[in-house]
Copies of this chain bind each other. A is one copy, B any other.
Amino acid sequence: MNTNFQKVLNEIEKEIQPYFGRGKIATYIPALANVPGGKFGIAVKTVAGETFSTGDAKEQFSIQSISKVFTLTLAMKKIGDDLWKRVGKEPSGNSFNSLVQLESEQGIPRNPFINAGAHVVADCIVSSFEDAKAEILNFVRSLVTNKEIQYDDTVAISERDTGFRNTALANFLRSFGNIQNAVEEVLDVYFHQCSIRMNCLEVAEAFLFLANEGMLPGTKTRILTKRQVKRVNSLMMTCGLYDAVGDFAYSVGLPGKSGIGGGIVTVLPKKFTACVWSPELNSAGNSLVGIEALKRLTTKLGMSVF
C-alpha cells in the first residue's frame, strides 16, 4: 500500500494546480485574511503506522471548525450521553450560523458541528474543568507527537472582536438556558479552540483514533469507546461539511470535517485518516482545492465507505 499512497498524493498535487484562484480566502476574520491562497498540503496516516504527505503538509494553519471534533470528543469522554440532552444529532438543513432553527427548536442546536452546537459543547467543557482552555490544549497534544501545539491568540481575539453572529448565537442559547456559564467565558473558549494551529500531518495524526476504533494506534490508550467512535464518525458523515454534506458524501465518500481556515480532515474507519489544507474556499465555505484533492484521493485509491 505504501508506494501507492505516496504516488497518489504526488499525482493529486499536480492535478489540482488548475484549481488555484477559483476560490476565495475567508476575509471575515481579519487575522486569517493574509494567508497566501496558493498554499496546498496533504497528509495521510494509516492505522498501520505509515505516513505519507506532500506540499505544505508541515505548515501550520488555523484549524477553526475542525476543532469541534476535539471538543466534542472531550465532552463525550467527560459527560457521556448527558451531552445529547442539550444538543441534537441530525443535519440542520440551514446555514452553519443560522438562528432560525434554534428559535423553533427552543435552544437545542441540531448537532455539535453547527456553531450553536459547538457553543453548547464548549459550555459543557467550561462546566467540567477548572481551566477549560488548558484542558482542550492538553487533550489535543495528547493525540499527537508534537507537544507544542498552541492557540493563536491574535486570531482568537480577532474573532472575538468581530464575532457578532457568534455572540448573538451564544446569548440566544443563554436565553434558553442552554448555556450555563458566562457567555463571555464560553465564547473565549470557543474562539480559542478555533484558533489552534496545526499542520496536515498533525491533524491526520490527531484523528487516527477515529480510524482505529477509539484507540491511539500503537498504544493501549483508549480515547473513546467503539460506540462513541461510531457516533463521531457518523456525525461527521451527516453533519461535518455544513450545507454540503450531501455533495461531500458523494464526491469523497468519507466522514469528514472542514474548517474555514481551509483544512479538511477525513477518516476511513479501520484504514487511514487524511488531512488536506488549502485556504481558498468555495461558496459553501469549504476548501475548494481541498475538495478536489480528496475526491481524487478516494477515486484513485478506490477506497471510500460507499
Contact = CB atoms under 8 A, between A and B. Distances in A.
Interface in A223-282: 229-231, 233-235, 237-239, 243-247, 249-250, 253, 255, 269
B168 A175 contact: yes
Given A167-B171, A168-B168, A306 B255 contact: yes
A58 interface: no
Contacts of A243: 90
A89 interface: yes
Interface stretch (A40-48, A96-104, A121-129, A201-209): A96-104
Contacts of A90: 91, 93, 243-247
B91 A306 contact: no
A198 interface: no
A169 interface: yes
Nearest to A28: B175
A164 B174 contact: yes
A172 interface: yes
Contact of A164 (B101, B171, B305, B306): B171
Contacts of A305: 237, 269, 305-306
A63 interface: no
Contacts of A255: 306
A154 interface: no
Interface of A: 88-94, 98-101, 103-104, 110-111, 164-165, 167-172, 174-175, 183, 229-231, 233-235, 237-239, 243-247, 249-250, 253, 255, 269, 304-306
